[in-house]
A = this chain, B = another copy of it.
């Protein structure tokens, strides 16, 4: 027990490790079943991958099942995902039928047997509780929603509530996502990054330079970057506009790195739009990398003078913590979970426009001392708040409370 956990000792200190071990003890041998929509792609799968292993490492029998989807189902749940974040959606009888029928079918595929608690992630798997086998032992079910649900589409939210009410608890990612129209205990568990993963582990300058060089990126000029999926809510076009302003004051380079799902025509179109916006400008790289190498992301975040995350909407925006962890100050949109990660003026800046984004980036580029200080603050802020060990501890507290 704790072989993997111990690797985090040098990062978070032995007190934290001891606390985790203490909280894990009463849960030894308990079966916890995580269920979500996919093993691959997306922040939720990335987090579960390591979290489930760590849970097992501390003695819990944490399992992870995914549902078998279908194209029409995933099209619907994509609109639901957007709908929870306020995008208007059309909720027809057919949509509901497809959504519920798929969950009904999956309720037989998934082995709920023996579970001491079930944690269902996001809207895709929400209706499962309605169909779970009648012979289950009334274990508590938790709905864990990862999106920004401050202003969901009202029809969608009313519909989802018909399933949510069957759960024992709901977990959200930020204080502002707590709902007052749900008669359910709610807990905040912020997401996290894994400091030992390829994307976040410490690289030497030499290693990072080599990775960038192999990707065709030199460091002759100071670098700023944004790493995120091509999507209008990530506002890469706004970043290019800000860069034009920045470039007038500081001679630097911009790298945009991200992917778009092959089945996402909007993403492909937005990538093209970004490319067009950058056309003819010097020192910009607009890269679409399907399986974006985690080591390249790591090196970019580490070697950039400033990391930008100019989102207009954001579920949580963990790329901010990723960059801060590498001691790089971040200039980011004041939306979603970003203000929980950036203390304005301490480890980065929250901005509301292209103009502000450019100004604050220029300020940082011109001030070595400020960058260094903010970078240091960022590292410590993430160490305290956004590492997988804190995430694990939050889950242990939740599980200790709900499992009798």
Which residues of A come within 8 Å of B, CB atoms?
29, 31, 33, 39-40, 49, 52-53, 56, 61-66, 68-69, 71, 105, 108-115, 133, 135, 262, 291
A262 to B262, CA, bound (A): 11
10 interchain pairs (CB within 8 A)? Answer: A29-B135, A31-B111, A39-B66, A49-B68, A52-B109, A61-B133, A63-B109, A66-B66, A71-B291, A113-B113
A273 to B40, CA, bound (A): 33
Residue pair A111, B33 in contact (C-beta under 8 Å) = yes
Which of B31, B49, B108 is within 8 Å of A56, CB to CB? B108
A40 to B52, CA, bound (A): 24
Knowing A68-B49, A113-B114, A114-B114 touch, does A63 contact B31 (C-beta < 8 A)? no
Provide the residues of chain B in CB contact with A110, threshold 8 Å. Answer: 63, 65
Q: This chain: how many copies in the complex?
A: 2
A297 to B379, CA, bound (A): 57
Which of B63, B64, B108 is within 8 Å of A62, CB to CB? B108
Residue pair B105, A115 in contact (C-beta under 8 Å) = no
A29 to B68, CA, bound (A): 23
Residue pair B108, A53 in contact (C-beta under 8 Å) = yes
Knowing A68-B39, A108-B62, A108-B63 touch, does A113 contact B31 (C-beta < 8 A)? yes
Provide the residues of chain B in CB contact with A49, threshold 8 Å. Answer: 68
Residue pair B31, A64 in contact (C-beta under 8 Å) = no
Provide the residues of chain B in CB contact with A135, threshold 8 Å. Answer: 29, 61
Knowing A29-B135, A39-B68, A68-B49 touch, does A111 contact B115 (C-beta < 8 A)? yes
A113 to B217, CA, bound (A): 50
- Other CB < 8 Å A-B pairs besides A39-B66, A61-B135, 8 of them? A31-B111, A39-B68, A61-B108, A65-B109, A65-B110, A71-B291, A111-B112, A111-B113
Residue pair B53, A105 in contact (C-beta under 8 Å) = yes
**Which residue, A113, A114, A262, has most C-beta atoms of chain B within 10 A?**
A113
Residue pair A108, B31 in contact (C-beta under 8 Å) = no
A111 to B66, CA, bound (A): 11
Provide the residues of chain B in CB contact with A62, threshold 8 Å. Answer: 108
Provide the residues of chain B in CB contact with A33, threshold 8 Å. Answer: 111
Residue pair B108, A111 in contact (C-beta under 8 Å) = no
Residue pair B61, A113 in contact (C-beta under 8 Å) = yes
A135 to B113, CA, bound (A): 14
**Which residue, A40, A68, A262, has most C-beta atoms of chain B within 10 A?**
A68
Residue of B nearest to A29 (CB): B135
In angstroms, how far is the closest chain B Cβ from the Cβ of A56? Answer: 4
In angstroms, how far is the closest chain B Cβ from the Cβ of A121? Answer: 14
A111 to B56, CA, bound (A): 12
Provide the residues of chain B in CB contact with A63, threshold 8 Å. Answer: 108-111, 113
Provide the residues of chain B in CB contact with A262, threshold 8 Å. Answer: 262
Residue of B nearest to A64 (CB): B109
Provide the residues of chain B in CB contact with A56, threshold 8 Å. Answer: 108
Residue pair A111, B109 in contact (C-beta under 8 Å) = no
In angstroms, how far is the closest chain B Cβ from the Cβ of A46? Answer: 12
A64 to B49, CA, bound (A): 20
In angstroms, how far is the closest chain B Cβ from the Cβ of A228? Answer: 22
Provide the residues of chain B in CB contact with A69, threshold 8 Å. Answer: 39
Provide the residues of chain B in CB contact with A52, threshold 8 Å. Answer: 108-109
A262 to B291, CA, bound (A): 14
Knowing A53-B105, A105-B53 touch, does A111 contact B39 (C-beta < 8 A)? no
Provide the residues of chain B in CB contact with A29, threshold 8 Å. Answer: 135
Provide the residues of chain B in CB contact with A66, threshold 8 Å. Answer: 39, 66
In angstroms, how far is the closest chain B Cβ from the Cβ of A103? Answer: 14
Q: Which 9 A-B pairs have the closest CB atoms?
A: A113-B114, A63-B111, A39-B68, A64-B109, A56-B108, A111-B111, A114-B114, A113-B113, A31-B113
In angstroms, how far is the closest chain B Cβ from the Cβ of A263? Answer: 11
